[in-house]
Chains A and B, each alone.
Chain A
Amino acid sequence: DTEVTQTPKHLVMGMTNKKSLKCEQHMGHRAMYWYKQKAKKPPELMFVYSYEKLSINESVPSRFSPECPNSSLLNLHLHALQPEDSALYLCASSHVPGQGPVKETQYFGPGTRLLVL
Chain B
Amino acid sequence: AQTVTQSQPEMSVQEAETVTLSCTYDTSENNYYLFWYKQPPSRQMILVIRQEAYKQQNATENRFSVNFQKAAKSFSLKISDSQLGDTAMYFCAFMRGSGGSNYKLTFGKGTLLTVNP
A contact set with B: CB distance below 8 Å? 31, 33, 40-43, 45, 48, 50, 55-56, 90, 94, 97-102, 104-111
Selected A-B contacts with CB under 8 Å, 30 pairs = A33-B103, A40-B110, A41-B109, A41-B110, A42-B110, A43-B45, A43-B105, A45-B105, A50-B103, A56-B101, A56-B104, A97-B98, A97-B100, A97-B101, A98-B98, A98-B99, A99-B98, A101-B33, A101-B97, A104-B95, A104-B102, A105-B35, A106-B105, A108-B37, A108-B45, A108-B46, A109-B44, A110-B43, A110-B44, A111-B44
- Which residues in A have their C-beta under 8 angstroms from that of B50? 101-102, 105
Interface pair A42/B108, CB less than 8 Å apart: yes
Q: Does B52 contact A (CB under 8 A)?
A: yes
Question: Complex: how many Å from CA A104 to CA B105?
Answer: 10
Tell me whether A42 and B91 are in contact (CB under 8 A). Answer: yes
Count chain B residues whose beta carbon lies closer than 8 angstroms to a beta carbon of A.
Answer: 27
Given A33-B103, A104-B95, 5 further pairs, Cβ under 8 A: A42-B107, A45-B104, A97-B98, A97-B99, A108-B45
Task: Give the A-B contact count at a CB cut-off of 8 A.
Answer: 59
- A109 nearest in chain B by CB position: B44
Residue of B nearest to A33 (CB): B103
Kindly state whether residue B66 has any CB partner on chain A within 8 Å: no
Note all chain B residues with C-beta closer than 8 A to A43: 45, 105, 107
Q: Which of A31, A99, A106 has the most chain B CB atoms inside 10 A of its CB?
A: A106
A97-B47 contact given A40-B110, A40-B112, A42-B110, CB 8 Å threshold: no
Q: A40-B110, A41-B110 are in contact. Are A108 and B98 (CB under 8 A)?
A: no
Question: With a CB–CB cut-off of 8 A, which chain B residues contact A31?
Answer: 103
The digit string for B48-78, where 1 denotes a CB below 8 A from any CB of A, is 0010100000000000000000000000000
The residue among A40, A90, A97, A100 with the most chain B CB atoms within 10 A of its own CB is: A97
